[in-house]
Amino acid sequence: MDDWLQTVLDDLAKSSACGYLPQQTAATEPSVLAALALNGHGRTEAAQAVLDYLARAQQTDGSVGVRATEATPGWPTSLAVIAWQLFAADQHQGRIARGMKWISGMHGETLERSPEMGHNTLLDGWPWAAGTHSWLEPTAFHLLAYRAVKQRSHPRAAEAVRLLIDRQLPDGGCNYGNTTVLGQTLRPHVQPTGIALLALAGESDPSGRMEKSLTWLKWSLGSRTTASSLSWALHGLHAHGREVPQAAELLRGAYQRVQSHDQSPHKFALLALAALGEQSPLIGITRMDTPA
């Protein structure tokens, strides 16, 4: 194991329920990612603090907010469900069921089709915050939750797949969720592309755009790629069986940058997860429930 990875895991193990930055109040997203990373590297016991955190954070409606102290918005509910399912599904059946009930009842606002917007605004996905449109990353996370609980055939999951394919840019890659606006094609970004491709692992896309996205994503990686984008990109590529020979070198470079700047537990957790390659539990989810 690389030295940097050992250091990261030791630090995460000290406080797996963590914030986005050191000394911050614990937040759901970084805590779940830290727990998944620790679990993936065989440190299951150290991840227990996150399960305690999630149990406290779950609301009576089943949702889990962005921080234990902030019940809304509930977009991290998907991540909480994944953690419960992967760690101790038997113990947490009630929590998982309540979480999935909230997820299935949460919809993005659809919009009348307009020539101004290139994507299909009628497809039903998930918003970041209640009362707003569906966007790419929350839809991908919630699709992963359906796949984790082996409900890929659920109508909401099937429509999420259609939405994520619809939001691929014509030449590959994904924006945060638009494709063209007022006739102009928007720029692709590494992180949303990686997350969308991870959630779409095993799906087919006759239009060929998913393949273009994989090509674009692999091409876009380099020494300038930052920790969060790099980690999600590696997940997206590895989930589709694409090798990234320079992955170890890129991960080390990204770690050094985080270590010398904000020392974000969120980024450290992502890097540790990405270091698992195809063994990342997030990729494992997609292997368990790939449609025939």
Residue type, 250: L
Q: Give min distance, CB of 271 to other proteins, in A.
A: 12
Q: Give min distance, CB of 126 to other proteins, in A.
A: 11
Q: Give min distance, CB of 112 to other proteins, in A.
A: 5
Q: Give min distance, CB of 224 to other proteins, in A.
A: 6
- What SS3 class is residue 2? coil
Sign, CA dihedral 81-166-126-103, equals: negative
Q: Give min distance, CB of 93 to other proteins, in A.
A: 28
Name the token pair of 290. 């790939």
Cα–Cα distance for residue pair 4/259, rounded to 1 Å: 10
Nearer to other proteins, 128 or 284 (CB): 128
Nearer to other proteins, 183 or 206 (CB): 183
Which positions touch other proteins (CB under 8 A)? 20-21, 24-25, 27, 66-67, 70, 72-73, 107-112, 114, 116, 122, 124, 127-129, 131-133, 135, 137, 175-177, 181-184, 186-187, 189-192, 224-229, 257-258, 261-262, 266-267
Nearer to other proteins, 46 or 169 (CB): 169
Nearer to other proteins, 107 or 218 (CB): 107
Q: Give min distance, CB of 88 to other proteins, in A.
A: 27
- What SS3 class is residue 183? coil
Q: Which residues contact residue 53 at a Cβ distance below 8 angstroms, ignoring those fewer than 6 apart?
A: 17, 26, 28, 31, 68
Nearer to other proteins, 1 or 23 (CB): 23
Nearer to other proteins, 87 or 255 (CB): 255
Contact 72, 130 (CB under 8 A): yes
Phi first, then psi, for residue 109 (nearest 5°) are -75, 125
Cα–Cα distance for residue pair 104/23, rounded to 1 Å: 34
Cα–Cα distance for residue pair 213/211, rounded to 1 Å: 5
Nearer to other proteins, 192 or 236 (CB): 192
Q: Give min distance, CB of 290 to other proteins, in A.
A: 27
Name the token pair of 242. 């694409």
Contact 38, 44 (CB under 8 A): yes
Residue type, 9: L
- The Cα diameter of the chain in Å comes to 53
